[in-house]
Amino acid sequence: MYDDEEDLPLALAKKYPHLLMVSPVTGKPTEYTVCSQYPLGWFKIIEQLVQKVDALNLPSSIFFTQIKEKFGTLRSYTSYHTEELGQLITEAEQKSAVTCEVCGEPGRTRNLVWIATLCDTHIGPELELLEESEE
């Protein structure tokens, strides 16, 4: 579907510019995307979220203002809130809490020096020891 993993956020933004390439300040189209600050392991979660939001056929005044990782889970902010939109965002955040942010495989939120959602492969032995000492 996409040629290069590095291009995933931009490719998604170009597919849904009315949702992802709107200035949060002016509400006008921009060449920048609001979806470039998240781990690529969550790309499928974000792609599904954007597809579902697009299917709602919301007014053009409703768009994403920021999509990012915070405290080990996905955070998505929009220019306006509806109950249905909030429910979709909450579902995506819940999925991110059990999805490795590096590879997209099942993972769990871990309290390391920072909070991250990782699978056993991507936590690595050094961080695993750190996690155990924190418990």
Instruction: Find tokens 């109950």 and name the residue.
Output: 83
- Looking at residue 7, its pLDDT comes to 75
**79, 19 in Cβ contact below 8 A?**
no
- Looking at residue 25, its pLDDT comes to 75
- pTM above the 0.85 mark? no
**Model confidence pLDDT, tens digit, residues 93-131:** 999 999 999 999 999 998 877 889 999 888 875 465 455
What percent of the chain stands above pLDDT 70? Answer: 85
Q: Which residues of 95-129 are buried (b: 16+ CB within 10 A; e: fewer)?
A: bbeebbbbebeebeebeeeeebbbbeebbeeeeee
Q: Which residue has the higher pLDDT, 4 or 91?
A: 91
Say yes or no to pLDDT of 59 above 70. yes
- Looking at residue 128, its pLDDT comes to 57
